[in-house]
Chains A and B, each alone.
Chain A
Amino acid sequence: MYTTDLRTAEEKAKAAALEKLNAKPVQPSDATFQARIDQDEFIEAKDEMPEAYRKTLTRQISQHAHSEIVGMLPEGNWVKRAPSLRRKLILLAKIQDEAGHGLYLYSAAETLGTSRGDMVDALHSGRAKYSTIFNYPTTTWADIGAVGWLVDGAAIVNQIPLCRTSYGPYARAMVRVCKEESFHQRQGFEIMASLAEGTPDQKRMAQDALNRWWWPSIMMFGPADEASTNSEQSMAWKIKRFSNDELRQRFIDQTVPQAEAIGLTIPDPDLKWNKERQSYDFGELNWDEFWAVVRGDGVCNRDRIEARREAYDEGAWVREAAEAYATKQRHVAVAAE
């Protein structure tokens, strides 16, 4: 998911060693802090908190923000080519929301003491991660439908519990994000539904998009619980409220009937309803592919980062000029006093 810990085993070990070395002496006792969490208190920006809590949140929220911002690119790929004016307006508004969500989240992360500039720098230099899903290409218009329906659908399943996450600024940002995102999934599904009832070419385009996006979408929830090392602590801190596997199952259970309703087939031969569990059983996920994409070898990893870096570098003169103008104006104001 946008928030899953995507660091590789080596990266995690390195960070843990550093943490030990730099551990700050003044920290609330773990018991005091945990007691606040257990009473469902929100933690606010200037409250005392364990350094590890602060670090985990900074990593998670900034990764979430990066995902929103990088996530603009695969959909932005189709803004100029949207097939009708209505679709163009919807897509523009949706991508604009994503930029907005990125900004809400950077704001929330900044309250933990890391500047947005530093976070963006970490993204551009490859130190920070973002959701693997955005390293897949949007090659046809149907991909815009699939991204809205599946990727935003998965995001919503993950994000709704985050509205009650223990860190106040993050929870408030997520409330706003969830409210705004409710149209994103619907518009994606609408695109797929129109294609599915269109010409044979359109239907084929829709099925092809589902085939390519299904597995990456369900991988967004992150590694299976038994392989997910950081989950336990995040659950105890109530940063995270449900496990990766629980959320993945929830998403699959709600999405399969949607696909059936528009006559598309989920590309998983092992998918079948399990009456006892009242849930769908599903096939093996390809975790080798997942980690390959995390490590930088997805179709679009390099394109995405290059695009972000280029935008930032080419905009440097604009940001500088605006800053310089503001400084001059301040001097004028001071001189006039």
Chain B
Amino acid sequence: MFTRATEYGVTDNALFEYALGLGDTALVLGQRMAEWLGKAPSMELDIAASNFSLDLVGQAQLFLEYAGEVEGEGRSDDDLSFLRDAMFFRNLLIVEQPNRDWGVTMVRHFLVSSFLVLQYEALASSKDERLAGIAAKALKEMQYHRRFSREWVVRLACGTDEGMKRITRGFDTLWRFTGEMFELADFEANLVNGGIAVDVRSLEAPWTTAVDDLLAECGIEKPTALQMITGRYLGHHTEHLGHILCDMQYMQRAYPGAKW
């Protein structure tokens, strides 16, 4: 029923791990969106993609700063971003999946932002004031991301056959990573009971309704997966995260201890 994360080296500081999960998801998705800069299908979309990246990296900064404080070992948001290896990253696997094309990117962004809107909505009334504050700010940003990405999925899928092909491919390649969003880790259960963390299991139904609604509007058959791929709390990622970190952490690794 729970991911048995504690058997896999997750620390016993549940709040730290939880904040890390929120921060890492935002950070990795922000890094992915930044890859569009200078490459988007139109110059207007370069600006839109970098706005998303700014929102997400900004959220990551706040969550990771808090994670560092909760941990109490003096690690900053930068230390956590640039000096952990892949197995210590807690991001959802779906956000590390490659951008591929604007269609796949928009499908990924819709699937994730629809989830994050629900999660932040609930987290905004957390008993932990810091988390609640960050979530309330981030919620407004993600509502726009959801609206924007949803519109793009419809435009592309209902525009041309090529668009439909690519959007369908997006849903097919990403579907097996969606189950992880609604999986609760054992260490999170106490936080949920204490009114601090969100019980993500309760978000699956509203999320499914929103996705089904979009699929129906586009006339796309609901994707299936023989199994859902998970592993973030076990430190088990897909091959992509390591490469993201190679880029992201390069300077901090090449010049240990330097200030920038």
Contact = CB atoms under 8 A, between A and B. Distances in A.
Interface of A: 69, 72-73, 76, 79-89, 92-93, 95-96, 99-100, 102-103, 106, 141, 191, 194-195, 198-199, 201-202, 307, 310-311, 314-325, 328
* Interchain residue pairs A-B with the least CB separation, the first 8: A315-B41, A321-B159, A321-B163, A325-B159, A83-B251, A318-B41, A83-B260, A80-B247
Contacts of A84: 78, 82, 260
B40 A315 contact: yes
Pick the most buried of B34, B46, B60: most chain A CB atoms within 10 A of its CB. Answer: B46
Contacts of B126: none
A319 B42 contact: yes
Contact of B155 (A73, A103, A325): A325
A72 B34 CA distance: 12
9 contacts: A73-B38, A79-B37, A83-B82, A88-B34, A106-B43, A194-B260, A310-B39, A314-B101, A319-B42
A79 B258 CA distance: 18
Task: Name the prevailing secondary structure of the B interface residues.
Answer: helix
Given A96-B50, A318-B41, A325-B159, A80 B60 contact: no
Contacts of A141: 251, 260
Contacts of A314: 39, 41, 101
Given A80-B35, A141-B251, A317-B166, A88 B57 contact: yes
A95 B50 contact: yes
A92 B255 contact: no
Contact of A318 (B42, B247, B248): B42
Contact of B57 (A89, A103, A198): A89
A308 to B, nearest CB: 8
Which of A82, A103, A321 has the most chain B CB within a 10 Å cutoff?
Answer: A321
Interface residues of B, number: 48
Interface SS of A by simple majority: helix
Given A96-B50, A315-B42, A321 B162 contact: yes
Contacts of B255: 83, 199, 201-202
B149 to A, nearest CB: 13
Nearest to A96: B50
Q: Which among A85, A195, A322 has the highest number of chain B CB atoms within 10 Å?
A: A85
Given A324-B160, A325-B154, A92 B57 contact: yes
Contacts of B166: 317
A328 B158 contact: yes
Given A92-B53, A199-B255, A311 B41 contact: yes
A330 B41 CA distance: 23
A92 B50 CA distance: 6
B47 interface: yes
Contacts of A76: 37-38
A109 B259 CA distance: 43
A166 to B, nearest CB: 27
Interface of B: 31, 34-35, 37-47, 50-51, 53-54, 57-58, 60-61, 64, 77-78, 81-82, 101-103, 154-156, 158-160, 162-163, 166, 247-248, 250-252, 255, 258-260
A262 B175 CA distance: 53
A83 B53 contact: no
A72 B154 contact: no
A81 B250 CA distance: 6
- Residue of B81, B160, B162 with most chain A CB atoms under a 10 A cut-off: B160
A100 B41 contact: no
A76 B47 CA distance: 13
Contact of B54 (A93, A194, A199): A93
A259 to B, nearest CB: 20
Nearest to A141: B251
A320 B159 contact: yes
A21 B81 CA distance: 62
Output the residue of A84, A95, A102 with the most chain B CB within 10 A: A84
Contacts of B58: 89
Given A96-B46, A201-B255, A317 B37 contact: no
Contacts of B156: 318, 321-322, 325
A332 to B, nearest CB: 11
Contacts of B260: 83-84, 87, 141, 191, 194-195, 198
A95 B96 CA distance: 23
Nearest to B53: A92
Contacts of A320: 159-160, 162-163
B77 A317 contact: no
Given A72-B37, A325-B154, A83 B159 contact: no
B24 to A, nearest CB: 13
Contact of A99 (B50, B155, B160, B258): B50
A291 B69 CA distance: 55
Contact of B159 (A87, A198, A322): A322
Given A195-B260, A317-B101, A321-B155, 12 more contacts: A72-B46, A84-B260, A85-B57, A85-B64, A86-B78, A89-B54, A89-B57, A99-B50, A103-B44, A314-B101, A317-B160, A325-B154
A328 B154 CA distance: 12
